[in-house]
Structure 1
Amino acid sequence: MNAGRAEAVGPVLALILATLFWAGNYVVGAFAVRTMDPLELTYLRWVIAAVPLLVIAQVVERPDWGAVWRRWPVHLGLSLSGMIAYTLLLYGALRHTSAIDASLINAANPAVIALCALALFRDRIRPRAATGILLGLLGVLVVLTDGNLPAVLGLQINRGNALMLAAILVWSLYTLFGRHLTGSPPIASTAVQAVLAAVVLTPMALWSGVHWPQEHEAAWSLLFIGIFPSVGSYLLWNMALRRVPAGRAGVFLNLITVFTVLISVAMGASLSLAQLGGGALVFCGIALVSSRPQPAAASTRSIEPTTDPQDTV
């Protein structure tokens, strides 16, 4: 009985730690961008993470690297969007907005992914999911405008929040097109994309004079981001997915926002009414989008929320 409980607790603990580390990317990233520009942080993050990811992929998945690298054009496109563009936008956003706001906006990803799937692939959205999408987007607008919804008409939106909105749009496209990548194990795919991100960014890094940060705090922040969210979370997540259904594991992604808020508040941040209200709307929307319909005969497919482990890095 005790062994059975341990087997059940192990994957759950792995999922919790994975989302905790991803939440740390927001909190520590917000600190790191005070002394490092987004390009510097993005480049060094993937330089640090690339080799450990390759080693872990080999040990855990033992992939056919020839088959993986033959899909390099697809991996390159995904790397440019998910590893480079998204990360640059995220760290750019954290220069102008709080980790709490960024994580609340990011929590609307399931709704944005569903809308992009509808626009690009004509995926059908169930009525309940449509209601959830509207609630989630309303919650994001509340956060974006700090509760002043008329500001949307005047485009009076914090620059950081606007960058974060662009980031989740980019990540939604990355997620949708990444679904068509077959024949590559998830950790190996992540490792290849990290390597490509480092290679692509190297000329820009050399031209802009990217260097290892001199401040001890910034260096430790960079090491944390390069190891825990970039390597540890992926390893823990994929280990858990061997024992937990992807749909159930996807629910744990909501903990990223929860952990980000808790860590930020513990470090002295305060929550505004707009953040509380907008966050509540976002999570109500997530609940509706994530709820599964009752089994019924249907010929059309409905959009379901993604459970890709990269959806909220």
Structure 2
Amino acid sequence: MQKGILLLVLATFLWAGNYICGRFLGPALPATLLNTIRWAISTLILWGLVILNKKQLPIFIRWKEFLVLGFLGVFAFSTLNYLGLKSISASQAGMISAGIPITILVFTPFFLKEQIKIKAWIGAIISIIGVILLVQGKQATSSEGSILGEIEIILSCVAWGMYTVLGKKYGKKIDPLTLTAGAAFYGTLLSAISCIGTVDPKLIHMTRNAWICIIYVSTFASVVAYFAWNAGVKIVGAGRAAPYINLLPVWTVLLGVLLLQEQISGITFVGGIITIFGAVLASGQSRVVKTQHEVNS
């Protein structure tokens, strides 16, 4: 059990590093190109793992599922994150991401036909209030660009919520590794297409540290974090694992302050605490629902 918890904590820590690297890479690469490079490397690693595990990858047979998940979880989520991190801090983006469990909660009844208890909806409302405070908690130097960045991060949370719920639905027929490898392929393809005619070579300013960040987001923040999370879930169970995703904004804020010397305004801090509290309340209730659903199945 303790090993499983450590794996879950490690996964959230590695995911938080993606926000830090995304913020650092903002001036180095256009968001669409950054996302294409990141997931092209991750796709090669994932496909290698599929081959090593002697699994088949029905890249054309299951193209609809892979395309939908690739668009939501690889292209939309990651690109919107990198776009948002160009104009807002990693700390603020991380705290807004605390709303991810809420988006999962909202889409669950529509796609999975699972019931959500009233306390979970109360948690969702509290978390939404927190996100509103986060959006209002801008520094005195904030501009229209930061407002756009906040909207982009919120939309990325919506994309990830849909990806998670549909991933669970499609996962009944496809194993997690195959599902992720297929989604990574189509997501990378969409990201590469988005680069055509939109990427100005003059905006590319790669340095040694930038390449290190690219390697990190392509391996540790993608493949390693994915396997750490799934291994942890396998040990402790999906219900007990769910609330640990709320460590993501905590790690992001800590890393943002320590590594990027970011400062957080009072209203932003309060908004983040309210968002996380609401997400924990919602996750705790959805855990009961998930556990009952697993028993019934």
TM-score (norm 2): 0.85
Match of 1:264 in 2: 256
Alignment of 1:206-285 (within 5 A): 207-208=197-198, 214-267=206-259, 268-285=261-278
State which of 4, 9, 15 in structure 1 corresponds to 2:8. Answer: 15
Separation of aligned partners in 1, 2:242 and 2:184:
23
- Residue in structure 1 matched with residue 168 of structure 2 by the alignment: 179
Partner of residue 169, structure 1: 158
Aligned partner letter, 1:34: P
Give the corresponding residue for 1:91: 82
CA distance in 2, matches of 1:46, 1:156: 26
Residue 75 of structure 1 aligns to a residue in which SS? helix
Q: Deviations over 1:278-307 (max 9, x none)?
A: 111112212221224998xxxxxx689xxx
1:156 CA displacement: 11
Q: Which of 182, 203, 208 lines up with 1:192 in the alignment?
A: 182
Q: Secondary structure at the match of 1:242?
A: helix
Q: In structure 2, which of residues 132, 135, 147 is the aligned counterpart of residue 158 of structure 1? A: 147
Paired residues for 1:136-147 under 5 Å: 136-146=127-137
Query: CA contact under 8 A between 2:73 and 2:160: conserved in structure 1?
Result: yes
CA contact (8 A) 2:31 2:83 kept: yes
How many angstroms does 1:210 deviate by?
Answer: 8.0
Task: Provide Cα deviations, 1:169-224, integer angstroms capped at 9, x if missing partner.
Answer: 22222222222203211122111111222233334445456888632121111111
How far did residue 86 of structure 1 move? 1.3
Structure 1's 233 and 213: CA in aligned 2 closer, same or farther, altered over 3 A? farther
| Structure 1 counterpart of 2:178, one-letter code | A
Counterpart CA distance in 2 for 1:242 and 1:121 is 21
As a proportion of its length, which structure holds more helix?
A: 2
2:49 to 56, 59, 65: 56
Asked if structure 1 preserves the Cα contact closer than 8 Å seen for 2:22 and 2:82, the reply is yes
Q: Give the 3 Å change call, closer, same or farther, for CA 106–185 of structure 1 in structure 2.
A: same
Structure 1 range deviating more: 37-46 or 272-281: 272-281
CA RMSD of aligned residues (A): 2.8
Which shifted more, 15-24 or 242-251?
242-251
**CA distance, structure 1, for counterparts of residue 233 and residue 57 of structure 2:** 22
Deviates more, 1:135-144 or 1:243-252: 243-252
Aligned to 1:290: 283
C-alpha distance in structure 2 between counterparts of 1:73 and 1:156, whole Å: 35
Aligned to 2:27, what secondary structure does the other structure show? coil
Q: CA deviation at 1:63?
A: 2.9
CA distance in 1, matches of 2:133, 2:166: 29
> 2:294 is matched with which residue?
none
Instruction: Tell me: CA distance 1:272–1:180, structure 2 relative to 1, closer, same or farther (3 Å).
Output: same
Distance 2:54 2:168 in 1: 21
Q: Secondary structure at the match of 1:249?
A: helix
Report the counterpart of residue 73 of structure 2 in structure 1: 82
- Per the TM alignment, residue 127 of structure 1 is displaced from its structure 2 partner at its CA by 1.9
Using the alignment, how far apart are the partners of 1:17 and 1:123 within structure 2?
Answer: 29
Compared with structure 1, are the counterparts of its residues 91 and 64 closer, same or farther at alpha carbon in structure 2 (3 Å cutoff)? same
Taking the aligned partners of 1:42 and 1:231, their CA distance within structure 2 comes to 15
Partner of 2:295: none
The 3 A distance-change label for structure 1 pair 204 and 109 is closer
Moved over 4 A (4+): 118-124, 206-213
The letter for the 1-side match of 2:217 is: I
Residue 99 of structure 2 contacts residue 131 of structure 2 at CA under 8 Å; is this kept in 1? yes
Task: Quote how far apart the aligned CAs of 1:232 are.
Answer: 0.9
Per mean C-alpha deviation after superposition, the further-off stretch among 211-220 and 281-290 is 211-220
- In 1, are the aligned partners of 2:74 and 2:187 still within 8 Å (CA)? yes
Per the TM alignment, residue 157 of structure 1 is displaced from its structure 2 partner at its CA by 7.2
